[in-house]
Amino acid sequence: MLAFLEQFSPLVQTLFGTGFTWGMTALGAAVIFLGRGLNRKILDWLLGFAAGVMIAASYWSLLAPALEMAQGRTLPAWVPAVVGFLAGGLFLRGLDKVLPHLHFRSPSPNEAEGAKTTWQRTTLLVLAITLHNIPEGLAVGVAFGAAAADLPSASVAGAVALAFGIGIQNFPEAVAVSMPLYSAGMSRRRSFFYGQLSGFVEPMAGVLGVTAVLLFRTILPYALAFAAGAMIFVVIEDLIPEAHNHGHIDLATMGAMIGFATMMTLDVALG
């Protein structure tokens, strides 16, 4: 698979990677056709698993290469990592303030965040997960762009591991979108459509990420750390609270531990 991908440009590699993550989103949304959806305990374990994957990916695939790339420059190596990481969190916080959306644990549209709106709860739920898919697409694009820079700390294999890990964690996220939509009275087909649609933003964000780092290679450490900060923001703000919201805290915690170990293994083994 690596030999196949290496014959293409970073932009095409990014489209392959984010196409896979979008496909996993569609697969998760398709669970709604199996019945009412997954058992709540299983879903909370999977959400914990997704959080663990994203935490591990943020360090092994993004922050660690950012620190290595920043070595030997004018500024201390930690400066780009810290600046980029905090900027990623602030960027997501800014979108939170502007874009109307509703967290899964919020029962009423009156608790929506962002600009005031009269949109329905289902629309706000889809916007929430769409918003949080942006950093995942950016991360994949930046990783493939970094691999094209011929730096020892970045490789196509590492970018593939990151895309694979993000794809895995997109599955439970999509289930968490389609289930509430179906429970709210939407048909299975429409619940699936909106569930998979939330992942469509990832290819677009991936193209933006790879284009930025290819045009401005000096921002690579900042871009990698930026993607990591945005992903950690999503984990802390949404994934972990939602996984704990139904009382299955220990189950979700074990899922996070296994998710972290899985992504660490993928990144070290492939990257």
In a domain, 251, yes or no: yes
In a domain, 92, yes or no: yes
65: part of which helix (H) or strand (E)?
Answer: helix 64-69
Selection from 64-68, 82-86, 96-100, 136-140 with the highest mean pLDDT: 82-86
In a domain, 93, yes or no: yes
User: What's the confidence (pLDDT) of residue 251?
Assistant: 93
Q: How many domains does the structure of the chain reveal?
A: 1
Q: What percent of the chain has pLDDT over 70?
A: 85
Q: Which residues pair with 101 in a beta bridge?
A: 113
Q: What is the mean pLDDT of residues 83-99?
A: 86
Provide the domain limits for residue 105: 59-270
In a domain, 117, yes or no: yes
189-235: per-residue pLDDT in tens? Answer: 888 888 888 788 899 999 998 998 888 878 888 988 998 998 899 88
In a domain, 9, yes or no: no
In a domain, 265, yes or no: yes
In a domain, 7, yes or no: no
Q: With cut-offs at 50, 70 and 90, classify the pLDDT of residue 107.
A: very low
Phi-psi region of 72 (alpha: psi -120 to 50; beta: other; left: phi over 0): left
DSSP symbols for 144-165: HHHHTTT-TT--HHHHHHHHHH
Q: Which two tokens stand for residue 155?
A: 């490789």
Q: With cut-offs at 50, 70 and 90, classify the pLDDT of residue 122.
A: low
Matching residue, tokens 């871009």: 223
CA 196 to CA 233: how far, in whole Å?
22
User: What's the confidence (pLDDT) of residue 16?
Assistant: 94
In a domain, 28, yes or no: no
